[in-house]
């Protein structure tokens, strides 16, 4: 089975063709970084407009690379959570294709896409995917949470951020330091040459009694530091100190979840999983504690449509279908109730 996946929940317009085994046949992503960079964050209306411009060429490219629309068996599309105007663009395209070609259609929760992205197989990759169940740390610009993943329809949220997502904190700190957008990769690069002990910052909600996170206090501490001392000429030390606090708490709580649940498998996902400090720390601590660590390739960590196609294939394989009345939602309802809802 070959599934066309479409993703437009935030600032990436993406389309991909993937098999039910996770083989990535094509994977096209049109980034809107240049559109939003002058504003230091995603502007929803501009995102919707850019999706409208990009969605058809991106889908055409993904289909052309995969051998045309005739080779497609089904369509999967992100229908939430995300920016509502942005979601509607991908959703309209997906519904039109499914209706016009009489193909099965499934809506995909973007977060479930991230949680199963570790099974994607791109050409030249030979990594072994994890067995189920596993613990997953999902860290992106919009989400930061730890999940227990038992099966595609059996996902339990163990803890999540009570305020900013980790990526959002990276982006806001970069903005405070005048470093540009998106800030995560820039802070990551600067942190590599900084001394994390040179600046004293608080550890954000580090107690293992809760698997929830909070990053707004740390961000405020950086803001206060800048207010008192000014923006440093070389921000490397401040970046290193900030990154270390974030990375340590993320790894500590994820590993704690693995140990508490006696699940010796940790999967990373989301854009912040590209962070070199996070990858290195997770590797170090997992090796020490006998936990197998699985980190998807960079292209599978950041927003992409291959993960949506694959999560869609899982639903299709379970016999699930949606009809062309499929709607979009901006927020996942009842995340706090311990389970990702099966929203379509
Ligand atoms: O998963 P993603 O592409 O989009 C969302 O679903 O949010 O994640 C984007 C986020 C941004 O906040 C970006 O700054 C952050 O991931 N990010 C990083 C790195 N690369 C991307 N954060 C820290 N270090 C990185 N190397
Ligand atoms: Zn995402």
Tell me what pLDDT residue 333 has.
56
CB 19 within 8 A of CB 53: no
Residue to probe by mutation, ligand 1, list 271, 305, 307, most atoms within 8 Å of CB: 271
Query: How far is it, in rounded angstroms, from Cα 159 to Cα 193?
Result: 32
- Residues with CB under 6 Å of ligand 1 are 10, 140-142, 167, 170-171, 182-185, 188, 270-272, 274-275, 302-303
Tens digits of per-residue pLDDT, 275-298?
999 999 999 999 999 999 999 999
Tens digits of per-residue pLDDT, 124-164?
887 789 999 999 999 999 899 999 999 988 999 999 999 99
pLDDT at 302 over 80: yes
Which residue is listed with tokens 């993937």? 18
Query: Which ligand is nearest to the Cα of residue 108, counting in written order?
Result: 2
Mean pLDDT, rounded, of the chain: 93
Average confidence (pLDDT) over 87-114? 97
pTM of the model: 0.93
Query: How far, in Å, from the CA of 80 to the mean position of ligand 1?
Result: 18
Query: Which ligand is nearest to the Cα of residue 115, counting in written order?
Result: 2
Query: How far, in Å, from the CA of 296 to the mean position of ligand 2?
Result: 14
Domain 134-296 sits in which CATH superfamily? ATPase, nucleotide binding domain (3.30.420.40)
**Ligand 1, atom nearest to 141 Cα:** 7
Average confidence (pLDDT) over 330-344? 52
Average confidence (pLDDT) over 236-262? 97
Tens digits of per-residue pLDDT, 158-191?
999 999 999 999 999 999 999 988 899 999 999 9
Tell me what pLDDT residue 40 has.
82
Tell me what pLDDT residue 335 has.
44
134-296 matches 2-123+300-333 in CATH topology: yes
Tell me what pLDDT residue 206 has.
82
pLDDT at 216 over 60: yes
pLDDT at 309 over 60: yes
Query: How far, in Å, from the CA of 151 to the mean position of ligand 1?
Result: 26
* Phi-psi region at 247: left, alpha or beta (left = phi > 0; alpha = psi -120 to 50): alpha
Tens digits of per-residue pLDDT, 30-86?
999 999 988 888 899 999 999 999 999 999 999 999 999 999 999 999 999 999 999
Q: What percent of the chain has pLDDT over 90?
A: 86
CB 334 within 8 A of CB 341: yes
Query: How far is it, in rounded angstroms, from Cα 12 to Cα 157?
Result: 25
The CATH classification of domain 2-123+300-333, taken from the options 3.40.50.300, 3.60.9.10, 3.30.420.40, 3.40.640.10: 3.30.420.40
Domain ranges within the chain, ordered by starting residue: 2-123+300-333, 134-296
Query: How far is it, in rounded angstroms, from Cα 157 to Cα 277?
Result: 24
Query: Over 88-128, what HEC string results?
Result: HHHHHHHHHHHHHHCCCEEEEEHHHHHHHHHHCECCCCCCC
Query: How far, in Å, from the CA of 321 to the mean position of ligand 1?
Result: 31
Tell me what pLDDT residue 205 has.
85
Average confidence (pLDDT) over 19-26? 97
């Amino acid at each position: 089975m070959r599934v066309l996946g479409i993703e437009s929940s935030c600032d990436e317009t993406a389309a991909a063709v993937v098999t039910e085994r996770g083989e990535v046949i094509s994977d096209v992503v049109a980034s809107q970084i240049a559109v939003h960079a002058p504003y230091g964050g995603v502007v929803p209306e501009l995102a919707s407009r850019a999706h409208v411009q990009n969605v058809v060429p991106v889908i055409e490219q993904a289909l052309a690379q995969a051998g045309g629309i005739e080779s497609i068996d089904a369509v999967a599309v992100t229908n939430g959570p995300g920016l509502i105007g942005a979601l509607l663009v991908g959703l309209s395209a997906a519904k039109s294709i499914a209706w016009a070609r009489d193909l099965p259609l499934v809506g995909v929760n973007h977060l479930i896409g991230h949680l199963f992205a570790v099974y994607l197989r791109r050409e030249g990759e030979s990594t072994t995917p994890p067995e189920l169940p596993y613990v997953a740390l999902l860290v992106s610009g919009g989400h930061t949470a730890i999940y227990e993943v038992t099966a595609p329809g059996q996902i339990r949220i163990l803890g999540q951020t009570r305020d900013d997502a980790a990526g959002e904190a990276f982006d806001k700190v970069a903005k405070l330091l005048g470093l540009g957008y998106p800030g995560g990769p820039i802070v990551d690069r600067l942190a590599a040459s900084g001394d994390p002990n040179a600046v004293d910052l608080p550890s954000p909600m580090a107690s293992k009694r809760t698997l929830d996170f909070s990053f707004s206090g740390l961000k405020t501490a950086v803001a206060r530091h800048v207010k008192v001392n000014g923006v440093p000429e070389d921000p490397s030390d401040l970046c290193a100190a900030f990154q270390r606090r974030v990375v340590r708490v993320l790894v500590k709580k994820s590993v704690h979840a693995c140990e508490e649940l006696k699940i010796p498998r940790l999967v990373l996902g989301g854009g912040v999983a590209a962070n070199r400090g996070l990858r290195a720390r997770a590797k170090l601590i997992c090796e020490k504690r006998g936990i197998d660590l699985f980190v998807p390739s960079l292209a599978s960590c950041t927003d992409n449509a291959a993960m949506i196609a694959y999560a869609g294939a899982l639903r299709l394989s379970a016999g699930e279908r949606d009809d062309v009345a499929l709607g979009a939602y901006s927020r996942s309802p009842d995340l706090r109730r311990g389970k990702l809802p099966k929203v379509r």
